[in-house]
Structure 1
């Protein structure tokens, strides 16, 4: 197939004409150098008049018009949203300026190699050349020179040939336009940089420095993706100071920002400079110039907005995990074999790490989780990513069937962004299983087998053939591209890279040149395919990794916004296409953020409302009429109360009450930056040493023996009756972007998808998994299930891992409610080893990481009685405790997180918050106090599981006192001061 470019598209013509209309017949003089562009007459007054005329024709808002200005070069800006054809407009502008004004020396500067490759491919492709020469009637061609990084060689130093050929191209040649394409990294003002060196053996026209040769051509310079080229950067300085183009034309969907104003008037605005055309996202969506967007995510089964990610496995001994909560709050944990995942979250209570492999962990619920994998943090612990893959495949097939039913078919593509490369591509140095690829292929085959029986041979023969070909070669249906692939010599990988990056026509073809069906349509990458890569037929993007970034949301979906082309290469623009954008629940607010981003880019103007005018006037003791007159006379506003942009800084300085927004520095995040270290004060530790060693001793939890097995069996039967065997349904939430009557973007809820999840287990495995997580004898479980089945039918599909999780959860609740008071603690003979505060020999450590005693931090020096030299805390109540001065306290300290391991009947360990050594004022009585802080007003506000843990802690410290070390344990609510607790203990 050949891609067919269309000329005459109104939104693209407007952009091209906006630039050419800035110039007129008398704008240029002929250069006396054959290699130089005509010379632009930089008549600032005339050019600004023309610019305003163009802006008025394109209805550019006054807010942006007031940013106009001309320096010692002419800057022109074109804003076009992602997917609307910026590269086409750039090339069309080059042809138009050459046709009208004989400009034929252009430099295109792009930020990345990927964009460079895409621009090169577009300009050099045969269909592009044919389009501009014949279809558009320009009758000329671009001679493209691509500047590449030079390699240093011994001997002669050759002047860069691309620069030489570009410079020597004659401006008198009506059939040639000379374009130099480069990436920003090569535009460097370092003395040893390729363009700056002057030690070449020969240079064209007597130039020894390439930069001087480029400057002499008086080029027009095009900047792509201007948000990557702020004017403070060295690259931009090099362009303006060394290349000195006559005109800089910036094309972008996003522009850099600048800060203007002072004090409360300080604000951030887009750095537009003579903005001629503003095709923003709202206009692009409203005019159907790009696909619409339908965002979709799954709600977690337990409605808990968090998940666990396996970061790394260390030598089969430990595993590092991240606990990710909604809003991308992340905490890190390191667990070992035998540890419970409840240390991460109570929702994972009862799940133990049973084994650690080279790149995976095995859990007591029978699941194996691999490095890089994420799973939902709920009682089901099911693979959330698997459900996202299934949803993406379903949405893809919905779209693919519609696109196949057309008279001229559209090849439908799907793009997956993943986190762990080796979950998709085999690493020869590792035993790691490519679990993501394997899961995808399994789900794809299942979907094909599901769809095929629903098709009609009479009506769907072509699609049947396509799916049959897909079924015969599942691995051929997908391909991946990752940055490390550039150094991979594997032939198959090389073919995939070529097809994804360079052979767009092949990827868009349903049939190959030899007549075989081309089933490759699922692409995997790790954000490598960003700006510079595009394919118009991407209809589904699935973000299996949560970036958590604050990057432009419109840029994130940008790879899928272009309107599609059919099998003949024709662009389809008369339909309402939708991009399926599938994310995880931690970014559930993606659509809201996208809508806000789109609407925030709309020009707001600077208008003073009547209400604001009256409020400020009242504060200043003036009438609103007098204040209005004063502002008008000083030319701070016009008659319509619009702030005059040129005078805005002076206006806000003189009348700061009109400024809105939060001043710089009002909101700070003390947790940003490197992880702090906190020193342990050795003298204070020595005062706490005996208390610390006592509470660090290992104790076991013993239950009273239940003599009557029938009692326990009947209790188990009762638990099975509590909806243990239920269908598990996961539902997606889908939102579509639409336009309101006033032209703003808005969200509409759309129909999502529901899946019934079936994870059937063999009966014996079902019993074993419950046994592993509860220690209930398998025989007793079997007897209870037999008794349950006499009056309740059990669906075989419901003998699954979800029913295991349901039962374990209900059993833990039963223990909490029925075993209170029926347990005791016993001290072990295990020797005390290294702890969070001490080495194995008992001496104190010099420092610990701040995070394990508190995530929040304030400056200052704690009391000399405090164990640490810094303030670190987790809650306001903890902060108050650290700051509070109590005379009777000898020494006190925050207990490091999870350093004390008190077993509880919930199955989880428990670690309290504070330890105190206190004495009466007469010095006769010394006591040890352990405190659990709960930042709630009453005990009734505590969750049941927290109340049970505290009850267990009370029993533990009673036993510790019986064993010869007296410790008072107290719980502290937010309305209780520490001094009050201490005084109660000392009575």
Structure 2
């Protein structure tokens, strides 16, 4: 028994990793796809911005002077994912390189990008534009390249082979001679990369490249790290936080309309922004949600005869000290919950000498304190045993009669028909399991640095369906066997009984397995309910009623519901579902 249990656990872990890898690869491919799409959209936007009002015959001339080269940077942590080598040293494409070329060619088939790459389009006998497939294939292979550390080994063509870079404990790289070679290579090509005539636009590089690696025209950064890289986000986005230049080398004058970096993060943007904010606070000494001594110095107190007067540093320090004395801020200026509460209730205490400027001071404090969360200590409460007519409910005759019926410790047995279970599972899966192609939500937000926090705005959300079936299907039988505890024979019977419904498994393997597993477990639960029987261990094995007096229940009011049909005066809820249910009862 022990051996079979151990094997089941090992198989389960292996199958889970199959699904995780499948989802991870699909997710990363979509990251690449979205990065390519963002890149081409920026190229098109910049092209139209520079050529608006220009004769089409002069497009080339104008672009050679004012055109803005768009670059995209992919961070990876395994060179093999981009470039591999055969035993003979012949270079081979890794999965990222393959996915990139497939996604790039798919995007360029859209007619709107014909303006950007007219050389891959021909005219047929009727004058209609027709895509040159060979030219498209050659373009796709020429617009991307890898910049990695190089070792002493040569490939079949005599070129140095790519090698792995290494991160230090602080998330820094570029310390070895091999790393230095990658750094020198890309720095040598830095000016070349800015030329529109240079086809290279998409750069795959190691996340360990050292500080100083940057390019003013990197507009997209895509993080494809397969592990939880310790590289700092501040370093990653630093590669692209530069003012772009045009073909003459001049900084472009368009502001954020052009100079915006898009980060295709492998996490939610909330996580990304939170971690980035922490790093900025730690590395740069910038305080979010903290009051500085000079915070109020620039508040305008008079604006007569075109001569502005300000509150000044001395008054600002006086306000700062008052806030500290009231406990509104700590010794480092960090805003406390008490200030947030008083701001919400419009009851903030300020020095008498600045009362006439209360509105401007409170506006400043509100701006700085924005986004801070509050936990009220006074909301912490211990639930008490409820009383009825001066007597605790748990001591009443009605509750005692109920307790005497349910207090005994028991064992249980289950008896159900396997044949009936299989039939019910087949019918329910066929009726209720609908699996479409994998659906991913793509969110794009802008991030602004404010005094209170890194603030996100202008959120866009798109749904994308993934219909590529070019992947190895996981072992659905073994997975369902290990996650339902049914025998392999029973699982096979259920799957074979599904008929053409089993085709849905190919659309989205993970979703099908999840839903089918849920149905099977639900039918098993129903079978158990119908076939379960309890057997009392003995008259002396039971739970004592005194546990209600001995155990203390403590929670916060926001998670507690006042109760009239419980032995306690409050019910403590661990989830929104429990909270809603408790409110209804």
TM-score scaled by structure 1? 0.32
- 1:526 aligned to which of 206, 219, 243: 206
| Number of the residue aligned with 2:419 | 708
Deviations 1:57-86, CA, capped at 9 Å, x for gaps: xxxxxxxxxxxxxxxxxxxxxxxxxxxxxx
Aligned equivalents of 2:326 and 2:231: distance in 1?
30
- Per-residue deviation, 1:580: 0.7
- 1:510 aligned to which of 196, 206, 219: 196
The reply on whether 1:478 has 2:144 as its aligned counterpart is yes
Aligned equivalents of 1:445 and 1:641: distance in 2?
60
- Per-residue deviation, 1:560: 0.5
Aligned equivalents of 1:557 and 1:404: distance in 2?
25
Change (3 A) 1:554 1:707: closer
- 1:778 aligned to which of 492, 514, 525: 492
SS of 1:506's partner is helix
Deviations 1:164-191, CA, capped at 9 Å, x for gaps: xxxxxxxxxxxxxxxxxxxxxxxxxxxx
| Number of the residue aligned with 1:660 | 330
- Per-residue deviation, 1:539: 0.8
- Per-residue deviation, 1:452: 1.8
SS of 1:589's partner is helix
Q: How does 1:834-849 map to 2 (within 5 A)?
A: none
Change (3 A) 1:428 1:726: closer
Aligned equivalents of 2:106 and 2:6: distance in 1?
42
- 1:582 aligned to which of 264, 267, 278: 264
The reply on whether 1:717 has 2:392 as its aligned counterpart is no
Deviations 1:705-736, CA, capped at 9 Å, x for gaps: 73535x52233221332233234321122220
| Number of the residue aligned with 1:756 | 465
Q: Is the 8 A contact 1:366 1:769 kept in 2?
A: no
Q: Is the 8 A contact 1:340 1:352 kept in 2?
A: yes
Q: How does 1:51-450 map to 2 (within 5 A)?
A: 339=9, 351-353=12-14, 363=15, 369=21, 383-405=26-48, 406=50, 407-408=62-63, 409-426=67-84, 437-450=94-107
| Number of the residue aligned with 1:640 | 315
Change (3 A) 1:560 1:336: farther
The reply on whether 1:803 has 2:512 as its aligned counterpart is yes
Deviations 1:342-363, CA, capped at 9 Å, x for gaps: xxxxxxxxx441xxxxxxxxx3
Q: Is the 8 A contact 1:704 1:823 kept in 2?
A: yes
For CA contacts below 8 A with separation 6 or more, give which structure has more relative contact order: 2
Aligned equivalents of 1:532 and 1:424: distance in 2?
23
Aligned equivalents of 1:731 and 1:525: distance in 2?
26
- 1:573 aligned to which of 226, 238, 253: 253
| Number of the residue aligned with 1:606 | 293
| Number of the residue aligned with 1:736 | 446
Change (3 A) 1:817 1:479: farther
Aligned equivalents of 1:456 and 1:716: distance in 2?
49
| Number of the residue aligned with 2:187 | 501
Q: Is the 8 A contact 2:425 2:519 kept in 1?
A: no
Q: Is the 8 A contact 2:35 2:220 kept in 1?
A: yes
Deviations 1:851-884, CA, capped at 9 Å, x for gaps: xxxxxxxxxxxxxxxxxxxxxxxxxxxxx99xxx
- Per-residue deviation, 1:581: 0.7
Aligned equivalents of 1:717 and 1:467: distance in 2?
48
SS of 1:724's partner is coil
SS of 1:525's partner is strand
Aligned equivalents of 1:474 and 1:462: distance in 2?
13
- Per-residue deviation, 1:591: 2.7
The reply on whether 1:451 has 2:105 as its aligned counterpart is no
**Structure with max Cα Rg:** 1
SS of 1:812's partner is helix
Change (3 A) 1:766 1:422: closer
Q: Is the 8 A contact 1:416 1:522 kept in 2?
A: yes
Aligned equivalents of 1:713 and 1:392: distance in 2?
47
Deviations 1:504-546, CA, capped at 9 Å, x for gaps: 12222333xxxxxx43222223333342122111111112237
Q: Is the 8 A contact 2:448 2:456 kept in 1?
A: yes
Aligned equivalents of 2:18 and 2:235: distance in 1?
40
The reply on whether 1:541 has 2:221 as its aligned counterpart is yes
Change (3 A) 1:819 1:439: farther
- Per-residue deviation, 1:489: 5.0
Aligned equivalents of 1:554 and 1:762: distance in 2?
35
Change (3 A) 1:458 1:475: closer
- Per-residue deviation, 1:416: 1.7
The CA RMSD measured in Å over matched residues stands at: 5.5
- Per-residue deviation, 1:478: 2.7
Change (3 A) 1:739 1:810: same
Deviations 1:261-286, CA, capped at 9 Å, x for gaps: xxxxxxxxxxxxxxxxxxxxxxxxxx
| Number of the residue aligned with 1:877 | none
Deviations 1:317-358, CA, capped at 9 Å, x for gaps: xxxxxxxxxxxxxxxxxx9975358xxxxxxxxx441xxxxx
- Per-residue deviation, 1:561: 1.5
Aligned equivalents of 1:510 and 1:603: distance in 2?
45
| Richer in helix (by share) | 2
Aligned equivalents of 2:471 and 2:31: distance in 1?
26
Change (3 A) 1:479 1:535: same
Q: Is the 8 A contact 2:72 2:219 kept in 1?
A: yes
SS of 1:708's partner is helix
Deviations 1:747-785, CA, capped at 9 Å, x for gaps: 213213321123549999887577665633435423233
Change (3 A) 1:815 1:743: closer
Q: How does 1:666-685 map to 2 (within 5 A)?
A: none
Q: How does 1:931-946 map to 2 (within 5 A)?
A: none
Aligned equivalents of 1:564 and 1:579: distance in 2?
10
